[in-house]
Structure 1
Amino acid sequence: MAPITIDEALSRFLDEQRERLAPRTFRNYDDVIGLLRDCMNGYGPNLLSGADHDRWRRAYDDGDEDAFCTQMDASYIDSMLDEFLGYFMIRKVMAGQELLQASGTVTKKLVGWLAEHGVIDQAAAASGTERATEAARDLPKAERLADALYQLTLNCPVRSPEAAGRWIDDGIPMQITKVEPGKLWFQGDIGPLPVPRKASELAQPGWRVTVVLAFAQNRWWLVEVGNVYP
């Protein structure tokens, strides 16, 4: 395939999927690709330098707010998958379980399509496929973990640093370092944090969680929780 833009590649991909998929399934594909476009147009310019950045800037300044997708080569799609699956779908999208799982499934199919049409090489396709497979499995679990941890915060008796012996509020996601039934540990040897069994069954060492933690009454408490990043 001759070089094509991101926009052309995504449109051709969707046209092919429309022919083979049931309408409900295709809607998920269409939704995910729409979100991927939004992610790339919003964050993709950060990748650019030199002539590519100049071309994007000229088009954007002329009023093309989608200039990253309309101007850049489709090979840039592969470079945006981590941003899309590891940040955008978690932080920027209010997605249900079905769409979260679909984001991994659809990007896996897209990576295969890009390799089949010579847009990316096999090594990039293998890496992208692995990343998308992990996302299809882990993003819904991470969302369920966030929900379970939020329920835990509702019973926290500690609401201010003054009421705690230690107060952890770094404003950045903290890595889960250890998981046992009903217990979590975080980086910096913080833990154990008592949690419901369903939460510890979902959590994985290495995942990161935005949390506020307090140590009081001889134990750790979860004061606030934000996003979970697998």
Structure 2
Amino acid sequence: MEDFARYLVDFSDLYADREPVEGPPPAEWEEELEDQFPEGWDETDWPALMDLGDRDLSALEPGHLREFLGWFLPKEGASADEILECAEVLRRWLEHLQKRGWRREEELLAFREAIDEVAPEAARAARASLILHDWARAGGGMPKELAGSRFEDFAEGHARLVNIIGDQGWFSFEDEYGDVGPVRLPSEAIAYLRVGDVIDAEFGLRGGRWWLVDSGAVYPGCVYVDVGEWDGRDKTF
């Protein structure tokens, strides 16, 4: 839950106007987050939970859970299993909120629906990310006869997958790069990718066509928000 606390403080809109303070008492719901660590955990072996201050729990919305699972965790390189584990911890935390009566039933239902929708999508994207990373490092399917030639152009950044046909993908950067494709992709990754997903990638033009040169996080399209549309804190991708 340290990651969730860090997301809330450093990236969500909940603390955009927060002034730095020293040593305030933790809010009750911060203590509830700490309670989700395994029984008998040694706090010396775990990083201290970030101070959430006295921010009222009512400010937390389902969108924060969606963005934590579908944007923050992929950005941090979380694996599919780690994302699903975080989702389960959040579900247990919601059970605590329900027992305390801190949020209405319809609000808790909206939180659970957000987790149920986003967690599988984020895990799927994480699996695609791992495969694409290895694929790019192995040459991106480029034939040996092209391996020694110079790249004619590059395009890098956050590219949205706009089409898949066979083993080819087309991407849009929605900026000065425009559209890139077709790009050869491994069938293992295509099994996990969905049109609308956003990939942090670098493409190189060689031999008259585009190749995947490097690949990082994959964000599920159901969550991704372009940095130009973000009205909370600045996000560093």
Band the TM-score falls in, shorter-chain normalisation: 0.5 to 0.7
Q: TM-score, normalised by structure 1?
A: 0.66
Instruction: Please tell me whether the aligned partners of residues 8 and 14 of structure 2 are also in contact (alpha carbons under 8 angstroms).
Output: no
Percent of aligned pairs with the same amino acid: 20
- CA distance in 2 between counterparts of 1:127 and 1:151 reads 37
Cα separation, partners in 2 of 1:109 and 1:177, compared to 1, 3 Å: farther
1:215 aligns with 2:205: yes
Q: TM-score, normalised by structure 2?
A: 0.64
1:81 aligns with 2:49: no
The aligned residue for residue 21 of structure 1 is: none
The equivalent position to 1:184 in structure 2, one of 169, 186, 195, is: 169
Q: How does 1:1-230 map to 2 (within 5 A)?
A: 33-44=1-12, 46-48=13-15, 53=18, 57-59=20-22, 68-78=51-61, 80-92=64-76, 94-111=77-94, 113-114=96-97, 117-121=100-104, 124-153=107-136, 154-156=138-140, 163-169=150-156, 171=157, 173-187=158-172, 188-230=178-220
- What code does the residue aligned with 1:226 have? G
Once the two structures are superposed, residues 34-80 of structure 1 have per-residue CA deviations (whole angstroms, 9 ceiling, x without a partner) of 33223223335x53477xx46xx3446x7989675241112233353
Mind listing any 5+ residue stretches in structure 2 that lack a counterpart? Answer: 27-47, 173-177, 221-237
Deviation at 1:159, TM superposition (A): 8.6
Deviation at 1:210, TM superposition (A): 0.5
Q: 151-160 vs 134-143, which deviates more? A: 151-160
Once the two structures are superposed, residues 123-168 of structure 1 have per-residue CA deviations (whole angstroms, 9 ceiling, x without a partner) of 54344323211332122221221121122212146799x9334321
Between structures 1 and 2, the one with greater helix share: 1
Instruction: Please tell me whether the aligned partners of residues 131 and 189 of structure 2 are also in contact (alpha carbons under 8 angstroms).
Output: yes
Deviation at 1:223, TM superposition (A): 0.7
Instruction: Please tell me whether the aligned partners of residues 6 and 50 of structure 2 are also in contact (alpha carbons under 8 angstroms).
Output: no
- What code does the residue aligned with 2:52 have? C
Secondary structure of the residue aligned to 2:194 is coil
Deviation at 1:203, TM superposition (A): 0.3
Deviation at 1:212, TM superposition (A): 0.7
- Pairwise CA RMSD of aligned residues? 3.3
Deviation at 1:90, TM superposition (A): 1.4
Aligned length: 188
Q: 112-121 vs 149-158, which deviates more? A: 112-121
Following superposition, which runs of at least 4 residues in structure 1 exceed 3 angstroms of deviation? 41-44, 57-60, 62-68, 94-97, 108-127, 156-160
Instruction: Please tell me whether the aligned partners of residues 108 and 133 of structure 1 are also in contact (alpha carbons under 8 angstroms).
Output: no
Mind listing any 5+ residue stretches in structure 1 that lack a counterpart? Answer: 1-32
Which protein, 1 or 2, shows the higher relative CO under an 8 Å CA cutoff with sep ≥ 6? Answer: 2
